């Protein structure tokens, strides 16, 4: 079982090292961002601003529990870190194809 606070802490450290890694979360990015904002602010990581992309959020598959969603986000990160190699285009999990993941809070 993955503790949400521990997940947020690990993700914060990962993104502080290289903020572009947010792309690896794919359609789960805004879920991860919302979870991180429970514990951290923009003072910890500039990505934790107010921007949320409704279209990308709608493409995230539904999960019965928070635990299932966290585990799916971790798996998506692993997959994209291994095969997507940091590109901003990620697989659209609900409609097939790809989408360009962009967070205005990233500033790039």
Angle at which helices 66-83 and 4-17 pack, to 10 degrees? 30
Q: Please give the distance of CA 90 from its chain centroid, rounded to a whole number.
A: 11
Global model pTM greater than 0.75: yes
pLDDT, tens digit, 9 for 90 and up, residues 36-46: 999 999 999 99
Which pLDDT value is given to residue 14? 96
pLDDT in tens, 86-108: 778 887 777 778 888 999 999 75
What the block records as the tokens of 59 is 């493409």
Band of residue 53 on the pLDDT scale cut at 50, 70, 90:
very high
3-state SS, residue 34? helix
Q: What is the pLDDT of residue 108?
A: 57
Burial class (CB in 10 A: 0-12, 13-18, 19+), 79: middle
């Amino acid at each position: 079982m993955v503790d949400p606070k521990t997940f947020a802490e690990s993700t914060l450290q990962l993104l502080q090292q290289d903020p572009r890694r947010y792309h690896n979360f794919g359609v789960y990015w805004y879920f991860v961002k919302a979870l991180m904002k429970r514990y951290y602010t923009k003072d910890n990581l500039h990505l934790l601003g107010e921007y949320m992309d409704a279209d990308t959020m709608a493409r995230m598959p539904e999960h019965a529990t928070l635990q299932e969603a966290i585990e799916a986000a971790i798996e998506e990160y692993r997959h994209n870190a291994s095969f997507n190699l940091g590109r901003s285009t990620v697989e659209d999990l609900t409609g097939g194809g790809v989408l360009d993941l962009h967070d205005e809070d990233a500033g790039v």
